[in-house]
Structure 1
């Protein structure tokens, strides 16, 4: 059984590869891919039997990648920390998922199920999944790669994100600050459909926690934790337009 691993986190790809080689020797890893675009090309070229697919990836998430694929005659095991709606959709279409961090026993079980269904599963399962998701709210939980591993958070608990060079700081509702090794642009690509707005080159804010806007050249936005953040002149109009819709 040939397989692809598609995940934007190198650590996750490496761990999954190691677990598969150690506990699931029937799976031959044809390639690993760091994003959805690479994954789509690999699927069309290599035509694997099985794809281990992360959902939350910047640029093109797992669902978008599946929708873009012309070749769909393969099985999918999602490796995810995603919310209940996506999991419901995955179950509804007889696909499988493993919650991160990956547990070896769950992995062994999922691979065994994929092997059993290899010659019987209808290719339309992926198409049915995507159709189901179009009518669901799939915003929610995301996984953050920290120095200690992966931290699962709810996007609704983020006050704002702040750029720190090649890193991003998450200011959380509970007062916690989480530092991850992703740029703010990458974070924005993940959160841009979840009620967030880039108000400055250094700040991405959660619109639900805006307390007030202070006029100025660009102005300032005061968040629910009383933190005042600058608004860029070139971001001002977009921000105010979104604010009026709340």
Structure 2
């Protein structure tokens, strides 16, 4: 099921599109609809939808400005507008489709089908999320990160992955944060001691709970929750596949 949000400054437009989606696209579940772009930004960042139906012409800010304000952009974008002069800019924003109002039901179904097709081609589809959920650690252990003159304590779920930088280690955290500590990756890996973490490469330890995709092409790599690609060593592949049960 695709989770979707509709953003349009006209309440009737949201109502009409929701009706069309419910009637012609049963594989889509509408999480919410927003007439205010600022409220839509908060809603998208919080709800993290799979798909956003976005109007362009809005009085508070236009759709493209809204996209720039988002922290969460890991969704499929479908533009819905009465104007045909934004198409090029829309596809530069990686829009899946561009639907002109009044929206034709066949065009809507094709747009949704594109998203579903893309998900299926990823190989792991939505099932990987269920596997990762099963790896979630039973307790939320705090990890200490020694910094200059202070020690930062973070929940293990906040750590996305760790990257070796010689005698230093870069620790990548949620919300785009990164901390560098004066410990090598081997020592950091030893200190984590949690079933959620796994060393997939000499230079990387990942939090398996933050894995979004396992890509078998181009030498095998992972895509993490912050959309970073992490290589997998050849010697680690079989063990990782068994660990993820894929």
TM range (shorter): 0.3 to 0.5
TM-score scaled by length of structure 1: 0.46
TM-score scaled by length of structure 2: 0.46
Q: Specify the structure having the higher radius of gyration (Cα).
A: 2
